[in-house]
Structure 1
Amino acid sequence: MKKCLLIAFAAIQLVSCSKDDAIKEPIKDEILKGNVTSIGNQPSNKPVSNKNTPTVIDVFSRVTDIAIDQNGDLYVADGNDKRIKKIRTSNGSNLVTNFAGSGSSGHADGTTTTAGFTFPKSLVFSKDYKTLYVSTWYYVRAINMETNEVTTIAGGGNSVDGIGTQASFTSNPFSLIINNAGTALYLTENIIQIGSAHIKRVRRIDLATKEVKSIGFNNLTSTFNPGYMVVDSKDKYLYMANRTMVLKIELSTGKATTIAGNDSSGFVDGVGTAARFQAIGGLALSPNETYLYIANGSGEGVRCIRALNLDTKEVTTVTGYDENNNNIGLFADGDSKTARFNDVYGMEYDKTTNTLYAADPFNKAVRVIK
């Protein structure tokens, strides 16, 4: 009898430990299936009556970046239309409306309906969602989401580094991101000026003081041109891409390590530096930061979405490419084999709905990947 009781007690303890272990085990990301639908790419700017089709009152001209608010609604930088647009995804309507910008080029501050934007390029929300930051031609702007006021926080000055509007940017700063502490913005500049040097740098804007500083990293080759960026949830690592490779940069030391791709352009899935990329566009981290999603083919080559497993460094193609039917540069919704992109720039991952949104500028659409 005592032996039976001991066995039973041991079994209970074993089950209890197993449950505890299961609870403590971290949730593992699963790679997206690669099914693609679209918002935009409508034949006209008239509302669409078909209930199964997104209702659109303002189609896009050239989508470059996407930001998601606390409700799950999308804000879209439409460069050629000189506006920020809003997509109401939270109620399922996908209604597109003008949110900010008069439609005229310029840098005038004011309300969201009167302020001017010259080619808005990149968007990011503050951590409390009270401010939407926008990078435009030579400037970084801030939109107060409660008052609808647009102000210039940096750029337009005569000094490279400096405070606020005393600092200057070269042409169009892009890849605007915010650290998870909510204290600083980072942006990249990679511009070839006529009659001047090739400007390659990363800038940091202290949101409390508005001080703009150029920052440097270790181990970067002279050929590396900074492109799109994303920061991890602990503000420990910055992931940055140029056209053909992805770097992992330790923010505390500035040490940079190549984790995928190399100086050679191409299209090859593989592990680490054996993988090949063609003109990397946007970057986005999966919810638990297992995968770094990479837009491949910004302007050339195969245009698709790739995934880099940050644990194994393996690069795989998620959607937009089929080696047996590689229709480069077209528009098609569908599964991972049949979907097609004309280009991919900024991307944003909605962790609540497990959805990746991607800007497809030349198809004039926001692509929805699940």
Structure 2
Amino acid sequence: MNNQHKWNFSIGMMLCFLLFIGACKKDKVEVPVVPFKIDSYYPNSGNAGTLVSIVGEGFGTELSKYSATISGKAAEVISATESTIVVRMPEGGVTGALALTYDSRNFDLGQYIYQALSVQNVFPANGPAGSQIRITGAGFSSTTGPATVFINGKPALVVSVSDEIIVAEVPVDAGFGPIVVKVDGKEAKGQNFTYQAISNIKPLSGGKNTKVTITGVGFEELAAGNLIDFNGTSATVLEATKEKLVVLAPDGVKTGPLSVNINGQKTSGPVFTVVAPPSIQVVTPLSGPKGAEMTISGALFSAVLDENKVFINGVSVPVQAASENQIKLLVPGGTGTGLVKVVVNDQATDGPQFKDQTLGILSVSPDNGLAGTTITIKGSGFSASPVNNKVYFNGLQATVKTATENTLVLDAPAGLSTGDLKVVVDGQEALAPQEFRRAGMLTLAGGPNSDTFGGFMAGIAVDNSGNVYAADRMNGVVKKITPAGEVSILQANGTNITFDTPYGIVIDKQDNIYVSDIGRNHIRKITPSGQNTVYVSGFAPGLMTFDNAGNLYVNIVAAYAGMNKVNTAGSYTKISGPFWPMAKAVVDADGNLYYVDSSSSSNNAIGRIAAGGGNENYFTGSSDAGFQDGIGLAARFNSISGGLALYGPGKLIAGDKYNYALREVDIASKKVSTLVKLSNGFADGSFSQAKIGSMDDMAVDKDGNIYILDAANKAIRKVFLK
């Protein structure tokens, strides 16, 4: 029994031992064997004692296994590493074949020439065009002709020469190959030189974490051997070959040149431009079937097609066409419902939700209007029966007049307000690409065939209750127009107020009305309680504006007469700056005065006098007439006779008379953009339908509605934008 236990124990121990050995074999890391390979040797010439370096990989390091000969004569192998073997040329040797033997394997290297001329070292052994290299050796000097240098067969400019040192400049497209020096008909070959150049980077713009591919020559295959910086900020190398690097734009990247540094040699490439992530403004349609064309409008897309990537609910969709502000693609179907995402050069932004369904809205025309405006909706999945299509404007249902599977025609309903436009068919819902805006223009009072107002109307203003006041010069009165369009004559204590030639009107925060009368050279003040007094006199007052402190800024109606500032006590002083202002000026919350000068800028620019002093004749615009959005002097107007008004924080609007346009000015950036572009004539409706005769003054109420004095049509026009 005891023997049996001993036997079992012995077998168990042996099994454990075998398992242990097996585990050790599994855990052993096998190092790949690099085959013995010789790439080059240098120098290929020199006197006895010259050290020749044999370069390659997979070399053994045991000197005892090596031997070398030159023309059959033994040469000493003095050192060996995995990549370099050094052989000393013997005394008494003669020019001939250089051979190496390692562990019974023979390698013929090439010819070695016994001569004084020898290229022993090159530093640096890499670099871009125009960089300088230092070649050390012997026998470089000559009394018959200068030494010449070639890099991979291309001549290099020799900067300086001594018997042992040559300084040369790397030629363009030198490539990879040996350094060769020629002197007095003799030639010596040295080590290989690696030419560095960046031919392209892609993309040329992006931001933090954008993957940038650098193509060129002379890169290190080991990623760590390439030092990349973006305008001085180091970047991480993700992939590396001799001709391509993939790097990650670093945190804190700034616009500037990208460079590659290898072994201390820096090669500069193109400028990498830092841009913000893309933004999506409109996606159309927001729902639709397979094959529908989707258009994504926005900013900071790439005009290079493959630099844009689009995903619908996480599904990648091929981009068909791209510009800097628009991407087009075909809906693939099967995506389900989810967000539209755009990725440009690894910078992503999320857009609205897309529904994978039959029903979809492609376009709404016009996309703004007032009650009664005829609207055409184009898309897919509509019912050919009008009653089966339900259309809602911000929750308010409209009646469809005609319908096909791809088109609905209807009128905007009464009570319309700005908001989503939605179509519902057979339980499916589709949203329009963008909100339908209650926007357009209507006539509050008057008209070309009306005698409500006389000709040559001048100024308008609006009070805190939304009543509009207009100077009716021909009739010598000021007309009051209620929000409902009812017109009456401005009165004091139940009596109509008459003027000689009423011109400008402004209303202060307490609803006191100030009217300039150029026929009597004074400004009248009419209080809500009915007091009617002369506020200031002594000059011909034109259009006027207030600042927050209650000071009046009044154009003087005379050639080159300028502008007066009237304080709250009724005293006035001349303002330095404007020469012949005719349009209404405006003062912002910081006390900066904005004006239009018919003398210095022909009414085609906005000037500014800063609150602390200093006149800027051309804050934005130019004396040259035109129609162009832009920044500062790049913008063009065609007579800002319609005046200026504040329009929200940091914004102005300008009445561009002969362009029939309302222009918005961002004060901080001086950027001019077009809010509304109308055509000449007389018509109410959406902005695509509305027409106007002239812009002679304007006012803005507390709700952001704009009132334009259309003197050519003898009318007050109301513009809805918000």
TM-score by length of 2: 0.36
Q: Match for 2:490 among 99, 108, 116?
A: 99
Determine which of 682, 686, 697 is the counterpart of 1:331.
682
Aligned with 1:308 (options 665, 685, 710): 665
CA contact (8 A) 1:304 1:320 kept: yes
Instruction: Quote how far apart the aligned CAs of 1:62 are.
Output: 4.2
Between the aligned partners of 2:516 and 2:664, the Cα distance in structure 1 is 26
From 461, 469, 473, the equivalent of 1:79 is 473
Q: Offset at 1:39? A: 1.4
Correspondent of 1:37 among 439, 442, 445: 442
Number of the residue aligned with 1:168: 539
Which 4+ stretches in 1 moved above 6 angstroms? none
Please show how residues 218-297 of structure 1 align to structure 2 within 5 Å.
Answer: 225-227=580-582, 228-234=584-590, 236-242=591-597, 243-256=603-616, 258-281=618-641, 282-289=643-650, 291-297=651-657
* 1:40 and 1:60 in contact (8 A); partners too: no
C-alpha distance in 2 between matches for 1:177 and 1:112: 27
My pick for the range that moved more, 340-349 or 110-119, is: 110-119
Selected match of 2:698 from 340, 347, 351: 347
User: Residues of 1 paired with 2:663 and 2:699: CA distance?
Assistant: 14
Are 1:364 and 2:711 an aligned pair?
A: no
Does residue 152 (structure 1) correspond to residue 543 (structure 2)? The answer is no
What is the distance in 1 between the residues matched to 2:675 and 2:632?
17
SS of the residue 2:633 aligns to: helix
Secondary structure, aligned partner of 1:64:
coil
Query: What CA distance in whole angstroms lies between the structure 2 residues aligned with 1:361 and 1:71?
Result: 24
Q: Give the direction of change, closer, same or farther, for the CA distance of 1:41–1:126 in structure 2 (3 Å limit).
A: closer
Taking the aligned partners of 2:644 and 2:439, their CA distance within structure 1 comes to 16
Q: Cα deviation per residue 1:266-292 (whole Å; 9 max; x = unaligned)?
A: 222222211111121211111223x21
The one-letter code sitting in structure 1 at the alignment partner of 2:535 is I
> What are the residue-to-residue correspondences of 1:185-200 with 2, within 5 Å?
185-189=552-556, 191-192=558-559, 199-200=560-561
Write the deviation string for residues 11-39 of structure 1: whole angstroms up to 9, x where unpaired: xxxxxxxxxxxxxxxxxxxxx98611111
2:524 to 114, 117, 141: 141
Distance 1:127-1:314 versus aligned 2 partners, 3 A rule: same
Partner Cα separation in structure 1 for residue 670 and residue 690 of structure 2: 25
Unaligned runs of 5+ in 1: 1-31, 46-57, 101-109, 156-166, 193-198, 322-326
Q: Per-residue deviation at 1:333?
A: 1.6
Residue of structure 2 in register with 1:319 after alignment: 676
Aligned-partner Cα distance in 1 for 2:637–2:625: 6
CA distance in 2, matches of 1:226, 1:121: 14
In the TM superposition, residue 187 of structure 1 has moved relative to its aligned partner by 0.5
**Paired residues, number:** 274
Distance in structure 1 (CA, Å) of the matches to 2:456 and 2:571:
31
Structure 2 counterpart of 1:161: none
Q: Decide whether the 8 Å contact of 2:489 with 2:496 is kept in 1.
A: no
Q: Aligned Cα RMSD in Å?
A: 2.4
Aligned residue among 63, 66, 89 for 2:457: 63
Aligned to 1:122: 504
Q: CA deviation at 1:348?
A: 1.1
Task: Return the offset for 1:303.
Answer: 2.4
Among the aligned pairs, what percent are the same residue?
Answer: 27
Deviation at 1:111, TM superposition (A): 5.9
Partner of 1:207: 568
Structure 2 counterpart of 1:107: none
The structural deviation recorded for 1:44 is 4.4
CA gap 1:191/1:97 in 2 versus in 1, 3 angstroms: same
Tell me which amino acid in the other structure corresponds to 2:593.
L
**Cα distance in 2 between the residues matched to 1:204 and 1:112:** 32
Residues 33/311 of structure 1: CA separation in 2 closer, same or farther (3 Å cut): farther
Residues 115-173 of structure 1: CA distance to partner in whole angstroms, max 9, x if unpaired? Answer: 431221111112222x21011212211112202x3222222xxxxxxxxxxx333xxx2
- Following superposition, the deviation at residue 112 of structure 1 comes to 6.9
Q: How many angstroms apart in 1 are the aligned matches of 2:634 and 2:557? A: 25
Scaled by the length of structure 1, the TM-score of the pair is: 0.68
**Conserved 8 A contact 2:477-2:497:** no
Question: CA, structure 1 residues 268+154, in 2 after alignment: closer, same or farther (shift >3 Å)?
Answer: same
Q: CA 1:33–1:239 in structure 2 vs 1: closer, same or farther (change >3 Å)? A: farther
Q: Distance in 2 between matches of 1:71 and 1:256?
A: 36
Which whole-Å CA distance do the structure 2 matches of 1:318 and 1:363 have between them? 22
The residue matched to 2:495 in structure 1 has which SS?
coil
> 2:507 matched to 1:132?
no
1: distance between equivalents of 2:557 and 2:622? 18
Whether the 8 Å contact between 1:64 and 1:360 is mirrored in structure 2 is: no
- For residues 178-214 of structure 1, the C-alpha deviation after alignment (integer angstroms, 9 at most, x for no partner) is 22122x211112523xxxxxx3311011222x21211
Give 1:40's aligned amino acid: A
Query: Runs of 5+ in structure 2 lacking a partner?
Result: 1-436, 598-602
Q: Deviations over 1:306-346 (max 9, x none)?
A: 2222233222222243xxxxx53x11222223322211122
